[in-house]
Amino acid sequence: MAERNQIDDNVRLFWLLGNPTRFEILRRLAHEPMFLGQLSRELAAHQQAILRHLDELIEKGFLETYEDESIRGPPRKYYRLTKTVRLSVHITPTGVRVVRIVPGSRPPRTVKGLVQRHYPEIYQLVVAAQRLPGIPNELDRKRAAIDIIQRLQTKTKETQEIGKYLATVISALQNQYL
């Protein structure tokens, strides 16, 4: 009976991953969390269709959601991977064996995601930089670019100083306790 349940679980997993749209959603979310509109645009599919796949992946435990502020209106609902799964399929003349390894850790976060969550002021500057092409007046666009560059340079110096400070704290802890 337990073997039959394992076979059923494997069939469901292959069915889930065998859909090209769901597979592509997982592939893209492996790089960074995304919101529904982004996935819909990148996959050139209707949001309702993407949402059905997202719901299926959430139900099976592959994804989770969180809300994050949006510059363009209300907070956005982002989707991200919840686990790393490695599959190995062994097909031999004597049978088929599927090995599934599910480590307990969350997939690594992207730098963009870390900046977005932990350094919102810097992230806002990055978003402002991405909007520069939308400024119609060239002089205004250049002024805005100069302002963003200067502010990012200041933030870069600050984070470098923070890094140096943290390195001294780590060194002191290592010297004292290790």
Provide the CATH number for the domain around residue 95: 1.10.10.10
Q: Looking at the structure, do residues 84 and 134 belong to the same domain, yes or no?
A: no
Given 82, 108, 134, the domain boundary residue is 108
Q: Looking at the structure, do residues 61 and 86 belong to the same domain, yes or no?
A: yes
Q: Looking at the structure, do residues 152 and 64 belong to the same domain, yes or no?
A: no
Domain total in the chain: 2
Distance CA 117, CA 69 (A): 10
Q: Looking at the structure, do residues 103 and 140 belong to the same domain, yes or no?
A: no
Q: Which tokens sit at 25?
A: 């959603």
| Owning domain of residue 169 | 122-177
Contact 132, 141 (CB under 8 A): yes
Residue 47: count other Cβ atoms within 10 Å of its Cβ: 13
Q: Looking at the structure, do residues 101 and 71 belong to the same domain, yes or no?
A: yes
pTM of structure = 0.52
Over residues 12-32, the pLDDT tens digits come to 778 888 899 999 999 899 888
Given 75, 108, 141, the domain boundary residue is 108
Is residue 114 one of the residues assigned to a domain?
A: no
Over residues 41-91, the pLDDT tens digits come to 999 999 999 999 999 999 888 899 988 877 777 888 999 988 777 777 778
Is residue 155 one of the residues assigned to a domain?
A: yes
Closest C-alpha to 33, from 56, 54, 19: 54
Is residue 19 one of the residues assigned to a domain?
A: yes
